[in-house]
Amino acid sequence: MMNIAEFPTQHLVKIVSSLLDSMLAANNQLPTTQITYFHSRAIPNISVLSYLTRIHKFAPFTNEALLSMLIFFDRIAKLDNGFTINSYNIHRLLITSIVVASKFTSDIFYANSRYAKVGGIPLVELNQLELELLFLLDFQLYIPLQDIQLADRANGPSNSCCIPYPKAKPIRRFASDPSLHIL
């Protein structure tokens, strides 16, 4: 069994990019039913591999952050809200997921201003995307170790971005919490 923590990150970036390219090839054939903050007007001219390599070069991240990003994508894909990850939204999802995963999994991460510059988007937009992603994931960022190990076994060359994870318990949002009294 491969020790993912010690696997060279740049090699893992290539593997993840290949997996995402396969997923995009299939998803780009589906009609877009929901336009989100993550969608761009046109497909960016930079490949997934080049974009992830750029992010890793100027704002290095860990293997745990990269695998967390994949699991976040899988959780998004399993939502029943019409959101499809495709070439119009993948780049914004990549930079935003790396930001969120790095902050959650590592004690060392960069300021959003650096990530925004590296990702080629305005800081205000990255801040909004970060919040959108957190709400999309229902703030469920924790990934048990066994899920990462399942991801390692499940994602062979023939499998798509489908990584099992435990069903999260719904959280109560502040606005709907009857115990809160707003004066």
Of 15-24, 47-56, 79-88, 116-125, the least confident? 79-88
pLDDT at 177: 40
Task: Look over the chain and give the mean of its residue pLDDT values, rounded to a whole number.
Answer: 80
Say if 93 falls within a structural domain. Answer: yes
Give the rounded percent of residues in the chain with a pLDDT score beyond 90: 47
Overall average pLDDT of the 82-92 stretch: 90
Say if 4 falls within a structural domain. Answer: no
Say if 135 falls within a structural domain. Answer: yes
Say if 38 falls within a structural domain. Answer: yes
Give the C-alpha separation, 154 to 148, whole Å: 10
Residue 125 domain boundaries: 9-176
Domain count, the chain: 1
pLDDT at 2: 64
Say if 160 falls within a structural domain. Answer: yes
Q: Are 131 and 123 in contact (CB under 8 A)?
A: no
pLDDT at 125: 96
Say if 3 falls within a structural domain. Answer: no
Say if 114 falls within a structural domain. Answer: yes
Give the C-alpha separation, 3 to 88, whole Å: 33
Give the C-alpha separation, 87 to 84, whole Å: 10
Overall average pLDDT of the 17-24 stretch: 92
Give the C-alpha separation, 14 to 63, whole Å: 12
Q: How far apart are the first and last CA of the chain?
A: 57
Confidence of residue 143 (pLDDT cuts 50, 70, 90): confident
Say if 103 falls within a structural domain. Answer: yes
CATH number at residue 48: 1.10.472.10
Tell me the pLDDT tens digit for each residue of 95-139: 999 999 999 988 889 999 999 999 999 999 999 999 999 999 989
Helices in the chain by DSSP H: which ranges?
9-27, 48-58, 63-78, 90-105, 112-119, 123-136, 145-154
